[in-house]
Amino acid sequence: MCGIIGYIGREEKASDMIMEGLAKLEYRGYDSAGIALATPSGILVEKTKGKLVNLADHLAQIGFPKGYAGIGHTRWATHGEPSDINAHPHWSQNHDVVVVHNGIIENYMQLRQELLQNGDTFLSETDTEIIPHIIAQYYEKDRDPVRAISQAISRMRGSYALGIMFADRPGELYAARKDSPLVVGLGRHENYIASDIPAVLSHTRDVYFLEDYDIAILDTEQIRIVDRAGHSVSRDVFHVTWDVAAAEKGGFPHFMLKEIHEQPHVVRETLNSRLLDDVDAPKMEDLGISKEVLDGLKRIYMVACGTSYHAAMVGKYLIERVARLSTIVETASEFRYRDPIIDEKTLVIVVSQSGETADTLAALRMSKQAGAKVLGIVNVVGSSISREADYVFYTWAGPEIAVASTKAYSCQLAAMYLLTAHFAMLRGKMTPEEFHELKGDLIGLPAKIGEILNQEEEIKKIVDAVDPLNVFYVGRGLDYYTGMEGSLKLKEIAYLHSEAYAAGELKHGPIAMIEPGTLVIGIVTQKSLVEKTISNLKEVKARGAQVLCIATEDVDPSLMDGVADERIIIPAGNWMFTSLLANIPQQLIAYYMSVKKGYDVDKPRNLAKSVTVE
Ligand code: AGP
């Protein structure tokens, strides 16, 4: 995820403070970094691709001044590959405004077009570059920075945390935010802005958390916060008591838990990247899959590994059931060696959080060589898969630091939902009216994830009370795939043997394993299959298993009486999307099981975040 730091103070040390702050943000992952410094003759900007040391070496080489005020940024590429040019800060046309930005501006193409028509030129491929251009446009009118920022942000749709400097105001820093965190740190004769507390923690423990649409104005002595209309607002000072390690995790004990809690935000980002308020179809033109292309296809493969493979399973189920397109899912390590039928009438969809998984990348290369078009569903911009695929659907989960994938999976599912709708509409299997309704359900997903996260304490209690020898995850339809992901997570971080089974398969073998000490987690969210799954759960209950049901609130509770020892009830809704919701408790179950056993949650044994070797 991108990181922001800003410093203004009486002592001439701004660039040192900014570089120190950026170093504190390195743990979040980034691909380039940059700095802007106020000087009497204007703002200086330097930026480099790669690690912070590249920027530090470059600054030393050119004798970059220390200065009194500046902003810095570590970039995690979203729009445009990692490069010097795409790194932040970005300039306005006349170099009078400089901006660093975290988040995504969804309508940047439209705004960029308007600016181009006005004669502006752009250097980068980023969405961010339009921001200083728009602010400068308004600033030129009456030299009122707050009004200029406020007018600019009223034009932007999406999420942003901004650090802003005006060339003719070297004694001031500006900050603004919406849907992307930003804090303002209070010092003595110096003040700070930061996307994350660790960036400022060694200098101050007193911060304001800016709220949506707040604009902060900082000088060396004071901080003023105003709303969009320019009226002063007061925010409470928060005294940070966390140590640095806890602060890096946003106050959570582990990155995994932090990432679990980021899901409402990141799922919203993925959805917003493809949904428009006034259009009843997902925005997918860049994927190169038109009706003609789809009609001309003989087959679709989805290829992935691990958690991404589970997202592909959900995608296949939905594409077949809703868009009526036959789709084959395979693990990349099998696909690449079995000589599958691939030609120019084949679409291969590769799914990968990292975009670097060796087997998935090999499957991509093999498919392209055989003439197929490849669509990548990828989280990391600039990764090998994103560069080599013909088309890319980015999931906007931000960097995932915990080895166990959580938020990236939820964003992959959101991508699958959108892709399914796109295919279904192209094939005439979904009307704009039906999509309109679906869009409402999609937009409601982040709030529902939040409701489930509110049950964290109860889920922890359930985990604390069980000590299973082994665990079965069972379900039917989409619930089966949800169970596969739950089971993988439990194995990965709690080292507990578990298996996922289609509930109807139990009696074909695995039921022989059921005995006291076995925990069976039944996922029950698919209306037409509820009674069937509950019957299977009765069978395991009768053989001594402990049963935990993860069920939607519209499942008749009496059906679970006498079957479920424990139940976790999740919000009901569109049958497709409960696959995302039912997985949230599973993530928390695995997490708390690992914590209970005292394991290294974020770095489980024998595993790597990105499997770049076979
Ligand atoms: C997920 O929790 C795992 N760490 C692992 O299964 C992962 O999903 C798999 O290695 C694929 O990674 P990718 O999505 O980066 O390609």
* pLDDT grade for 487, boundaries at 50, 70 and 90: very high
**How far lies 165's CA from each of 276, 578, 588, in Å?**
31, 45, 42
Which DSSP symbol is given to 320?
I
Q: Please name the residue that has the structure tokens 């099981």.
A: 593
**How far lies 300's CA from each of 142, 315, 316, 364, 417, in Å?**
57, 11, 9, 13, 16
Contacts (Cβ under 8 Å, ≥6 apart) of 566 = 462, 465, 547, 548, 549
**What would the pLDDT profile of 385-428 be if each residue is shown by its tens digit?**
998 999 999 999 987 889 999 999 999 999 999 999 999 999 99
Which secondary structure element, helix H or strand E, spans residue 36, and what is its range?
A: strand 32-39
How much distance in Å is there from the Cα of 612 to the middle of ligand 1? 11
**How far lies 72's CA from each of 46, 162, 353, 456, in Å?**
10, 11, 27, 36
Mutate to test the pocket of ligand 1, among 354, 386, 405 (most ligand atoms within 8 A of CB): 405
Whether 612 shows a pLDDT value over 80: the answer reads no
Residue 382 confidence (pLDDT): 73
Average pLDDT on 294-322 reads: 97
360 lines ligand 1 (CB under 6 A): yes
Token couple for 147: 């009004």
**How far lies 79's CA from each of 92, 95, 225, 264, 394, in Å?**
18, 22, 30, 21, 10
Crossing angle, helix 432-443 and helix 445-453, to 10 degrees? 30
- Residue owning the nearest CA to atom 7 of ligand 1: 306
Whether 244 shows a pLDDT value over 90: the answer reads no
> How far is the C-alpha of 246 from the C-alpha of 252, rounded, in Å?
6
What are the structural domains, with CATH classification, of the chain?
A: 3-248 (3.60.20.10), 259-443 (3.40.50.10490), 454-597 (3.40.50.10490)
> How far is the C-alpha of 194 from the C-alpha of 584, rounded, in Å?
30
**What would the pLDDT profile of 540-559 be if each residue is shown by its tens digit?**
999 999 999 999 999 999 99
Q: Report the half-sphere exposure of 197 (CA within 13 A, side-chain side).
A: 22
Average pLDDT on 346-361 reads: 94
Average pLDDT on 503-527 reads: 95
Q: Please name the residue that has the structure tokens 């770049």.
A: 612
How much distance in Å is there from the Cα of 609 to the middle of ligand 1? 7
How much distance in Å is there from the Cα of 409 to the middle of ligand 1? 9
Bridge partners for 204 per DSSP: none
- Give the gyration radius of the chain's Cα atoms: 25
Q: Please name the residue that has the structure tokens 């030609």.
A: 343
> How far is the C-alpha of 256 from the C-alpha of 349, rounded, in Å?
27
* pLDDT grade for 225, boundaries at 50, 70 and 90: very high
Average pLDDT on 504-518 reads: 93
Bridge partners for 572 per DSSP: none
Q: What angle do CA 318, 324, 330 make, to 5 degrees?
A: 55
Are 219 and 165 spatial neighbours (Cβ–Cβ below 8 Å)?
no
- Residue owning the nearest CA to atom 16 of ligand 1: 352
- Residue owning the nearest CA to atom 4 of ligand 1: 404
74 lines ligand 1 (CB under 6 A): no
493 lines ligand 1 (CB under 6 A): no
> How far is the C-alpha of 603 from the C-alpha of 277, rounded, in Å?
40
What integer best gives the mean pLDDT of the chain? 94
Are 594 and 340 spatial neighbours (Cβ–Cβ below 8 Å)?
no
Are 242 and 209 spatial neighbours (Cβ–Cβ below 8 Å)?
no
Whether 9 shows a pLDDT value over 90: the answer reads yes
Q: What amino acid is encoded at 364 in this protein? A: L
* pLDDT grade for 614, boundaries at 50, 70 and 90: low
611 lines ligand 1 (CB under 6 A): yes
Higher pLDDT, 2 or 522: 522
Q: Is the dihedral of CA 486, 458, 529, 574 positive or negative?
A: negative
Would you mind telling me the total number of residues written for the chain in this entry?
614
Bridge partners for 177 per DSSP: 161
What backbone torsions phi and psi does residue 604 show, to the nearest 5 degrees?
Answer: -65, 155
Q: Which of 34, 134, 133, 37 is nearest to 93 (CA)?
A: 133
Whether 81 shows a pLDDT value over 80: the answer reads yes
Count of C-beta atoms within a 10 Å radius of residue 605: 10
How much distance in Å is there from the Cα of 395 to the middle of ligand 1? 14
Residue 420 confidence (pLDDT): 98
Assess whether the previous peptide bond of 89 is cis (omega < 30° from 0).
yes
Active site residues: 2, 609
> How far is the C-alpha of 210 from the C-alpha of 423, rounded, in Å?
40
Average pLDDT on 5-10 reads: 98
How much distance in Å is there from the Cα of 576 to the middle of ligand 1? 23
